[in-house]
Structure 1
């Protein structure tokens, strides 16, 4: 069982290194200067040097190629020198990420190129530490990575899947990648987007504007509902400061917007001939 776990570590490390290589080569990180002071505190020269080395474009490409070479070497070779080099790389990455979190709270780690733009947090540091521990664990693995992949039992696959899930949970880059993919999708203009009435009510009742006004509303049935451009307006009767009034909620119909605004207007006289609202929008 121990050998199976060690073999799974090789596959995990190889996958992480190859993914980091592709990200550094394909996703360019935004260019940012390295200030000498952060929040008025001088940044040590060794930290500025480490940041420049870690985040410079040429260095990023070189580092990515090195990671790719190590990832492939872990798959095809069982030589101890390859695994030692991998362990040293992850140990150095752990030190740099830890220093960035303390000394440069305004920057990303660049671990996965342009996807690692968010400030370094505890998850990134913990991920680097765990990968270093994984690299140490893989040192005595009996097989090369491809042998474990071809001949490995179900235990290797299960261990690998569990570790990949933990790795994903510790990777803020996933949310950045998801946001980029969403931006590539064609977005329907909010004024033309179909917005069911049920969606409007869900957004309304989840908003702070509704929570702040809910106790003043005197009826669960709206007086009127209509849509104009990117907004749907919902009117409820209310009792505010001893006077009857109407609260008009403006709910955004944009796909990812949760904006809800409210305004109080004087109550209009009731119309006995007014029929209950049955229309849908």
Structure 2
């Protein structure tokens, strides 16, 4: 059973890489994803360069071709170097998706080209982690993908069916595929965080229950904020604070997303709010 599971991971990863290659080559990503600012708030330099590169058509094609080559290699050879390269690729993708979810709530992951324009959700991060785990499991697989298909076993099909069903549930791209195919889809929709109505009470509830609030609560000198404003997917709340005899301000950035809201914070001098340092 263990061998069948390992061989199944080779087939799964090959299929995913080839599908990602096809999507990147045929479905263009919206150019807006390469923006270096989110509603006036500067994006951290590293992620700005990352999203700019991803929005470049030549880079998307090159990445897609690389994924295609890796997927074909998984099918025709069982060499350890191919398995290691696959695992490293998915591990890197997991890191990128995790960073985008925290720091670029407006941007899609681009995992499947233009089919992935929606903001990164927790399920996208979980999916990337599962792919990385599948890569690790494939390291010990004795057969190449085509050999598994030639000598297919009932156990392989069973495991593959379960994994495909799980990954379909974790893939927001499925709705985009159904739309392009003209098929009806589940009516569940998600309003973009920058346009979603976010009551101030919701912001305070998220803030007061966050680790960021607990970290700074003891230095805050007033329960009344000095300033509150919203920039796209974030609402900023500023409180006066006193640290080591110095008068400072604590700036909290509270996500306005529908789910998985995060809170980030920074201590700043009065009237010197560096939003890029917070985000």
Q: Which residue of 2 aligns with 1:246?
A: none
Q: Which residue of 1 aligns with 2:63?
A: 63
Distance 1:35 1:19 in 2: 26
Q: Which residue of 1 aligns with 2:123?
A: 123
Q: Which residue of 1 aligns with 2:51?
A: 51
Q: Work out whether residues 25 and 61 of structure 2, in 8 Å CA contact, stay in contact via their aligned partners in 1.
A: yes
Distance 2:33 2:115 in 1: 18
- Closer/same/farther in 2, CA of residues 107 and 137 from structure 1, 3 Å limit: same
Q: Which residue of 2 aligns with 1:4?
A: 4
Q: Which residue of 1 aligns with 2:156?
A: 156
1:37-88: CA deviations, max 9, x gaps? Answer: 4366532211112222333211110000000000000000000000111111
Instruction: Please report the RMSD computed on the Cα atoms of aligned residues, expressed in angstroms.
Output: 1.7
Distance 2:175 2:28 in 1: 17
Q: Work out whether residues 33 and 108 of structure 2, in 8 Å CA contact, stay in contact via their aligned partners in 1.
A: no
1:152-205: CA deviations, max 9, x gaps? Answer: 31001100111010111111001011112228xxxxxxxxxxxxxxxxxxxxxx
Q: How far 1:103 moved relative to its partner?
A: 1.1
Q: Work out whether residues 4 and 152 of structure 1, in 8 Å CA contact, stay in contact via their aligned partners in 2.
A: no
Q: Work out whether residues 9 and 137 of structure 2, in 8 Å CA contact, stay in contact via their aligned partners in 1.
A: yes
Aligned residue pairs, count: 184
- Closer/same/farther in 2, CA of residues 159 and 36 from structure 1, 3 Å limit: same
Q: How far 1:25 moved relative to its partner?
A: 0.5
Matched, 1:114 2:121: no
**Aligned to 2:182, what secondary structure does the other structure show?**
helix
Q: Which residue of 1 aligns with 2:175?
A: 175
Unaligned stretches of 5+ residues in structure 1? 184-281
Compare CA radii of gyration and give the structure with the larger one.
1
